[in-house]
Amino acid sequence: MILSSSRLRSRFLGVELENPFILSAGPSTDELDITRAGLDAGWAGVILKTTSLPTTDVDLVYPMMSSFNNGDDILGMGNIDLISIYHLEEIVKRISILKSEYPGKMIAASIMSDSREGWQTLVRALKDADVDLIECSFSCPQGNVGEDPGKMLAQSVSATEKVAGWVKEAAEELPVLIKITPQVTDIVAIAGAILKSKCDGITASNSIPALMGIDIDSLTPIPQVDGYSTYSGLSGGAIKPITLRTIAEISRNFTDATISGNGGISNWRDSVEVLAVGASNIQICTAVMLHGFGIIEDLTSGLDNYLIEKGFNSVTELVGKALPKLVSHEQLPRHQVRSAVIKEKCIGCGRCYISCRDGGHIAIKWDSVNRLPDIDEEKCVGCGLCLLVQPVDGCLSLKRVD
Ligand SMILES: Cc1cc2nc3c(=O)[nH]c(=O)nc-3n(C[C@H](O)[C@H](O)[C@H](O)COP(=O)(O)O)c2cc1C
């Protein structure tokens, strides 16, 4: 079992991390004993669930969790949770306890407020408690308090720059991360506002407002709270492609931006992808809620083995490595490709034929006697749909024809 190795170690905004995996603000960091268990299991750090001043009313409703599934697999999780019920004084106490019990771990706090004075009061108290880093939730799916209640702060460029500036003014040299939402028109403008505010980094990104589903018997949206519902924050595997795009877009436009990757990361392979588009480390919430703290063993061993296999001496060498190959659509090479059936592997299911007939280019003929697809090279454009539906790995391939 590898929880740390010289390859996995890094420095993030001045804080030493024994591995790149951090527990993000959520249920797993909302109770002291649960947080301790996470750190004991080998997580490199924690961001305690978002705290606020006692004047902020945190009015929770239950049940708060839902999901959308493919059979037994949870593809995405939804929650209508709010920030922590524990206010500043309690969190300050916990920071001191965790800092003394876990000197080698990153102990960070997350905050949300509704005024300059509120944000700065939170920052100053946490700074006095010697917190390693502050993350600001500008992206609670139920909306931030203050500026434009019900909306997310990070949906407004001007509000983001203004409030991030207030926080950094109070934090001074203490590192500040701004946690953003990908649900914006222009993520680059939001990232630019954060960098302008002189905050130190960006957490990309939070769960995403979504409607998790409708119970078609009662025609009530889910989750149901006494027959009513509201929008949830969608998290887990379903949002990983959005996370990748968000981080990639920020990294490509701001090469010096420091990004903490978050949203839909469930295993070490996901973490490689998120690091490769520009995140310096990985925050996880949902995968821990679904599978427990023990996933840290797979995350660290898997990532370490990958680094060895690919010849990386350090996790930091992997950061952004996929970006040079990410270009705009018009910059993509224009090659001709065609599908080819690998007859020895074909099981005669006809799925490629049906998809091409009804959703492609009618470029697959069906030999019903031998139950074999036959590619019409004149009609095939090489769209790749048949490869998506192939039930057997390698029964179809794409070949270059120019
Ligand atoms: C039940 C629940 C509660 C959460 N509470 C907070 C919170 O208080 N503050 C915050 O910044 N993010 C909160 N989050 C968001 C997570 O920290 C994380 O950004 C999001 O779930 C995406 O990551 P994931 O796919 O790994 O879960 C919460 C997520 C869940 C599922």
**Statement to judge: residues 62 and 126 lie in one domain:** yes
Q: Is residue 27 part of a domain?
A: yes
Residues having CB closer than 6 A to ligand 1 are 24-27, 49-50, 79, 81, 83-84, 110, 137, 179, 206-207, 235-236, 239, 262-265, 284-287
CB atoms within 10 A of CB 401: 12
Q: Is residue 160 part of a domain?
A: yes
**Statement to judge: residues 80 and 196 lie in one domain:** yes
Mutation probe of ligand 1 site: the residue of 207, 243, 267 with most atoms within 8 A of C-beta: 207
The Cα–Cα gap between 28 and 288 comes to 8
Nearest CA to ligand 1 atom 8: 83
**Statement to judge: residues 108 and 223 lie in one domain:** yes
CATH number for the domain spanning 176: value is: 3.20.20.70
Residue 137 and residue 188 in contact, taking contact as beta carbons nearer than 8 Å: no
**Statement to judge: residues 210 and 358 lie in one domain:** no
**Statement to judge: residues 270 and 354 lie in one domain:** no
The token duo for 135 is 């993350």
Q: Final residue of a domain: which of 325, 356, 379?
A: 325
pLDDT in tens, 216-236: 999 999 999 999 999 999 999
The token duo for 159 is 């509000």
- Helix (H) / strand (E) containing 17: strand 15-17
Parent domain of 317: 10-325
Q: Is residue 169 part of a domain?
A: yes
Q: Is residue 4 part of a domain?
A: no
The Cα–Cα gap between 377 and 399 comes to 11
**Statement to judge: residues 179 and 255 lie in one domain:** yes
**Statement to judge: residues 316 and 358 lie in one domain:** no
Q: CA–CA distance from 49 to each of 285, 385, 392 (Å)?
A: 11, 43, 44
310 CB-side CA count, 13 A: 15
Name residues whose C-beta falls within 8 Å of residue 393's C-beta, 6 or more positions apart in sequence.
none
CATH number for the domain spanning 374: value is: 3.30.70.20
List the chain residues with pLDDT less than 70: 147
Pairing relationship of beta strands 337-341 and 396-400 according to DSSP bridges? antiparallel
Q: Across-strand partners of 8?
A: none
Q: Which of 219, 224, 184, 232 is nearest to 77 (CA)?
A: 232
* Token pair 């003929």: residue: 365
Name residues whose C-beta falls within 8 Å of residue 324's C-beta, 6 or more positions apart in sequence.
none
Q: Is residue 201 part of a domain?
A: yes
Catalytic residue among 136, 140, 352, 380: 140
CB atoms within 10 A of CB 301: 16
∠106-276-252 over CA atoms, to 5°? 100
Q: Which of 236, 185, 220 is nearest to 77 (CA)?
A: 236
**Statement to judge: residues 294 and 389 lie in one domain:** no
Please say if 140 is a catalytic residue: yes
Q: Which of 174, 147, 327 is nearest to 248 (CA)?
A: 327
How far does CA 126 lie from the centroid of its chain? 26
The total of structural domains in the chain comes to 2
Q: Final residue of a domain: which of 273, 307, 325?
A: 325
The Cα–Cα gap between 82 and 60 comes to 7
Q: Is residue 376 part of a domain?
A: yes
How close is the Cα of 377 to the center of ligand 1, in Å? Answer: 49
375: which DSSP letter?
E
Q: Final residue of a domain: which of 307, 325, 343?
A: 325
**Statement to judge: residues 292 and 394 lie in one domain:** no
**Statement to judge: residues 288 and 374 lie in one domain:** no
pLDDT in tens, 123-152: 999 999 999 999 999 999 888 777 677 789
Mutation probe of ligand 1 site: the residue of 87, 142, 285 with most atoms within 8 A of C-beta: 285
Residue 142: per-residue pLDDT:
86
User: Residue 397 burial by CB count (10 A; 0-12/13-18/19+): exposed, middle or buried?
Assistant: middle
Q: Which of 116, 129, 94 is nearest to 164 (CA)?
A: 116
18 CB-side CA count, 13 A: 20
Q: Is residue 2 part of a domain?
A: no
Residue 267 and residue 109 in contact, taking contact as beta carbons nearer than 8 Å: no
Q: Is residue 253 part of a domain?
A: yes
**Statement to judge: residues 396 and 296 lie in one domain:** no
